[in-house]
């Protein structure tokens, strides 16, 4: 890979606040622009797979790209296929979830999911009473990004910490989150804090919806996690304090009202 081409990919690799849908979209556009470096793709395939182990849509995308590269040596049809998928997926998910969301005015979510954003924007067009509570999602606070985007679109938005979930769930109509992977057993992998939100919804009999594109479905139940730097939790922590930092966790099937795809 040429040095001039490394920077955009390095930027995608270092992105710790975007959701998996945005990561895949950026990755897709980058690789589409760099089709001519096809001889370097085997190395890129390995690097991308390792970097985004928790993002099932990226794993599926790269796996299909690798297969197409081996079989056809050309990627034009592959990129065209995903251009079409990205263009229509949010409308399809919205149409599938709309019957369940029509009666809900106040929704709670967390992190910075592109899929959640797109569905809320569409819902706001037909429900002007819509308001959203967003959990800030420590340690990278990417929930703040989603809250800002919603506010810029005129959607009343409240930003809270995950510690406030139990109290706030009592006042909402439902919860809606994205997913980094949908497991074969019906469970889901998503940002840490999702299980707490799901448990609170279960306790107060609130619907807990998961929305995800078909590219995020996994053919096994693997949920191995990559431990992240402890400095993200506390830069000046005591040497005798053990700090654990994981971005993702599993939400059990029993806590999920419905998984909606498109």
Q: Which string of DSSP letters, residue by residue, matches 36-64?
A: GGGGGHHHHHHHHHHHTTT-HHHHHHHHH
| Residue in the structure block whose two tokens are 């997913």 | 179
Q: What proportions of the chain, in percent to the nearest 5, are helix, strand and coil? A: 50, 15, 35
State how far the alpha carbon of 9 is from the alpha carbons of 1, 2, 56, 106, 180, in Å.
Answer: 11, 12, 18, 38, 20
8 A C-beta contact, residue 187 and residue 253: yes
Active site residue 83: no
Whose CA is closest to 169, among 255, 261, 260? 255
* Active-site option among 22, 83, 91, 180: 180
- Residues serving a catalytic function are 180
């Amino acid at each position: 890979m040429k040095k001039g081409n490394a920077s955009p990919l390095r930027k995608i690799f270092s992105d710790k606040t975007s959701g998996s849908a945005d990561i895949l979209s950026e990755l897709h556009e980058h690789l589409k622009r760099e089709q001519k470096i096809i001889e370097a793709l085997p190395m890129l395939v390995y690097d991308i797979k390792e970097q985004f182990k928790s993002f099932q849509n990226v794993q599926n995308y790269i796996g299909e790209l690798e297969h197409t590269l081996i079989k056809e040596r050309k990627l034009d049809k592959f990129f065209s296929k995903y251009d079409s998928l990205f263009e229509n997926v949010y409308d399809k998910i919205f149409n599938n979830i709309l019957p369940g969301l029509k009666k809900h005015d106040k929704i709670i979510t967390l992190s910075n999911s592109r899929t959640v954003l797109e569905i809320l924007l569409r819902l706001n067009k037909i429900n002007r009473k819509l308001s959203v509570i967003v959990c800030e999602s420590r340690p990278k606070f990417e929930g703040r990004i989603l809250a800002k985007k919603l506010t810029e679109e005129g959607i009343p938005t409240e930003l809270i910490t995950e510690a406030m979930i139990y109290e706030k769930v009592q006042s909402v109509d439902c919860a809606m989150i994205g997913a980094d992977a949908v497991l074969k057993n019906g469970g889901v992998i998503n940002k840490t804090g999702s299980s707490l939100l799901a448990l609170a919804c279960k306790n107060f009999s609130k619907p807990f919806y998961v929305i995800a594109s078909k590219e995020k479905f996994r053919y096994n139940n693997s949920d191995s996690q990559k431990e992240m730097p402890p400095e993200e939790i506390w830069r000046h922590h005591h040497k005798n304090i053990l700090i654990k930092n994981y971005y993702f966790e599993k939400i059990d099937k029993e806590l999920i009202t419905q998984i909606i795809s498109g």
